[in-house]
Amino acid sequence: MINKNAKFILEDGSLYEAYSFGYEKSSAGEIVFNTSMTGYNESLTDPSYKGQILVYTYPLIGNYGIPKMISEKKNIKKFFESNNIHVSGLITSYYLDSAFHWNMYKKLSYFLKINNTVGIYGIDTRSLTKKLRDKGTMLGKIIISDNVKFYNPDNYNLVDKVSIKKKTIYGDGKQKILLIDCGVKNNIIRCFLERDCTVIRVPWNYNNLINEEYDGLFISNGPGNPKGYKTTINNISKAFICNKPIFGICLGNQLLGLAAGFYTHKLKYGHRSNNQPVILSGTNRCFITSQNHGYVIDSNKIPNGWKIFFKNLNDNTCEGLINYEKNFISVQFHPEASSGPTDSQFLFDVFLNFIKTNNN
């Protein structure tokens, strides 16, 4: 492995010396972290990380390499959340180039290079994460060659960059799910296909929702500030009159909330880990969840007909919404992410039960 000196700079002026192991270019974005010891091929290709530099807190990354991009139905990649890397850069404490695994196809460094993504190692990532947890969300940049300006992804329409461009249909199941793609993860589509659904995937700004034939509407995860996607919010509001069940995940939770009359605000820290505890409202039942978001639904004002579905046990913030009369639900975490590994995937079944009840 050939290393090249690199620098990592935070907006507060903090500077870290590091080594490059990916595509050799400078890059900038919002700094976020992930606490997983595995799953870097999934998180790197998660569209929700668009515009962000990802820091892994686990001390060693790269030991099992990258599996081959095997296509499933309609070009869904088997071991990945999309077809491309979406992070603006990757930071690890240590990178292991001598990877070994029965399913390995290429090394992580190769995967970064062919996707034009910078990767650096040699930084105390746990110390960096503590700094982020102390000071809050920060911008940063990785300097390898030329200098670059700091980049704030909240100022851009990132959903348009990661959403599908034309309607695509997956499967041939009994229930038809109309999926608004704001940067959907492949495993969400898999969860529906495994439950005998037909998935009709449409762009984030698709304006023909009410004329589509479907049984339930799904609003996907994705990057960016939810208030910036007014077209999607307006389309969801129009879909309310169709009286068909709706399910939103992550950004989809925020967009559904805004369409219903809730407010959103940016968290100081965000929820950035695979071990966030959430509790089902009105019970003592706790779930360990995977999360990556900087914005949250403001639960101080709750519109008529709505209730808080889940709450975060760390900071008591809203983790989901439910409207029993309309059969609308949403969650801020990722039930498809297999944190438990399947402890909150029952939410897909709840949504499908709403559909069956609605159709009877």
* pLDDT more than 90, % of the chain: 83
Point out the domain boundary residue: 137, 155, 173: 155
Same domain, residue pair 206 and 320: yes
Same domain, residue pair 164 and 149: no
CATH number, domain at 280? 3.40.50.880
Domain of 270? 159-359
Distance CA 243, CA 250 (A): 22
Question: What single DSSP character describes residue 341?
Answer: S
Phi, psi of 182 (to 5 degrees): -105, 10
Same domain, residue pair 164 and 135: no
Residues 188, 228: contact at Cβ < 8 Å? no
Same domain, residue pair 168 and 125: no
Q: According to the model, what pLDDT value does residue 7 have?
A: 95
37: confidence class by pLDDT, cuts 50, 70, 90: confident
In 3D space, the residue among 286, 328, 334 whose CA is nearest the CA of residue 190 turns out to be: 334
Phi, psi of 47 (to 5 degrees): -60, -20
Same domain, residue pair 18 and 71: yes
Q: According to the model, what pLDDT value does residue 75 have?
A: 75
Q: According to the model, what pLDDT value does residue 272 have?
A: 85
CATH number, domain at 57? 3.50.30.20
Residues 6+ apart with CB under 8 A from 5: 17, 18, 19, 20
Active site residue ranges: 250, 334, 336
Lateral strand order in the sheet of 246-249: 168-170, 197-203, 175-181, 216-219, 246-249, 328-331, 318-323, 307-312, 263-280, 286-298
343: confidence class by pLDDT, cuts 50, 70, 90: confident
**How many structural domains compose the chain?**
2
Same domain, residue pair 226 and 325: yes
Q: What is the pLDDT of residues 213-229, one digit of tens each?
A: 999 999 999 999 999 99
Average pLDDT for 123-146: 91
Q: According to the model, what pLDDT value does residue 93 have?
A: 95
The yes-or-no verdict on residue 133 having pLDDT over 70 is: yes
Angle among Cα 235, 238, 244 to the nearest 5 degrees reads 105
For the record, the structure tokens of 317 come out as 């913030």
Same domain, residue pair 144 and 206: no
Same domain, residue pair 130 and 92: yes
pTM: 0.95
Q: According to the model, what pLDDT value does residue 229 have?
A: 97
Same domain, residue pair 274 and 170: yes
Point out the domain boundary residue: 126, 155, 184: 155
Distance CA 72, CA 249 (A): 23
Q: According to the model, what pLDDT value does residue 73 have?
A: 72
Q: What is the CA radius of gyration of the chain?
A: 20
Distance CA 339, CA 166 (A): 31
Same domain, residue pair 19 and 78: yes
Residues 331, 310: contact at Cβ < 8 Å? yes
Same domain, residue pair 150 and 164: no
Using DSSP, state whether 105 is helix, strand or coil. coil
For the record, the structure tokens of 86 come out as 């979406």
Same domain, residue pair 91 and 177: no
Q: According to the model, what pLDDT value does residue 47 have?
A: 97
Point out the domain boundary residue: 155, 185, 216: 155
Distance CA 111, CA 97 (A): 12
Question: What single DSSP character describes residue 217?
Answer: E
Using DSSP, state whether 142 is helix, strand or coil. strand
Helical spans, DSSP H, in the chain: 40-44, 108-114, 125-135, 159-162, 186-193, 230-239, 251-260, 346-359
Question: Dihedral (C-alpha) 52, 290, 331, 182: value to the nearest 10 degrees?
Answer: 30
Residues 57, 129: contact at Cβ < 8 Å? yes
Q: According to the model, what pLDDT value does residue 340 have?
A: 67
Calculate the CA 39 to chain-centre distance.
Answer: 13
Distance CA 320, CA 101 (A): 38
* pLDDT more than 70, % of the chain: 98
Residues 6+ apart with CB under 8 A from 29: 51, 52, 53, 87, 88, 89, 139, 140, 141, 151, 153
